[in-house]
Each structure stands twice: as structure tokens, then as C-alpha cells.
Copies of this chain bind each other. A is one copy, B any other.
Amino acid sequence: MLERHDLLFKTLGDPTRRAIFERLCREGEQTVAALTTHAGISQPAVSKHLGVLKQAGLVAGRDAGRQTHYSALPGSLAPLNDWTREMETFWERRFDDLEDLLKRMDQ
């Protein structure tokens, strides 16, 4: 049972891959060749990373003749946001509990 969060974290866990994704976010649509020149690795490696990103729903490719334009998918990071917020919620709740406890002890 590989969950959505796990897939996202694992996909973005690789620095090179995250750099590619970040570049797509910053610069918008990019061809594989353009990405390759900045990635510092071979073209097949870039293609593989793009495949992984695509699989994770972070990226989409648009065919245009012999080249493919990739772009980051807006909203694809939402699950990450949700998760982190959920974790922070636990901290706040615990903090509230602590406050309550202190208040009760104060009486």
C-alpha cells in the first residue's frame, strides 16, 4: 500500500529530480533538451526523471513534433501541504492541551 504522500516525498526526495521540477515551476514549459543542458546529467537520465515525475502526477508532457514540452502541474503539491498542516495541527492541539493542563493546575 504505497500512499500518495509516500510517492510524492519519494519522488521529490532526489535532489536532481527536485531541481528539474523546481526549474519547471520557475521557468514554465521546457523541452527535454533545455532541461538536459542545465541538469548536468545525460539526456536519458533526464527522461527517466521526467517519467518518475509524470508518474507521481507532478508533471505533464505535451508532444510537439519531435520534441516534448514538459510543465509542472499546478495543484500537484496540495497533498504535501495538507499533510504538513495536519502534522502541525497535532502540535497545536498538544500545545492547547498543555495550556489547559497548566490552567487547571493554576486553580
Contacts and interface: CB of A to CB of B under 8 A. Distances in A.
Chain A interface, >50% SS class: helix
A16 to B, nearest CB: 10
Contacts of A81: 81, 84-85
Interface in A23-45: 25-26, 28
**How many copies of this kind of chain does the complex include?**
2
Contact of A77 (B2, B25, B87, B94): B87
Interface in A1-54: 2-3, 5-6, 9-10, 12-15, 18, 22, 25-26, 28
A84 B94 CA distance: 25
Interface in A64-107: 72, 74, 77, 80-81, 84-85, 87-88, 90-91, 94-95
Interface of A: 2-3, 5-6, 9-10, 12-15, 18, 22, 25-26, 28, 72, 74, 77, 80-81, 84-85, 87-88, 90-91, 94-95
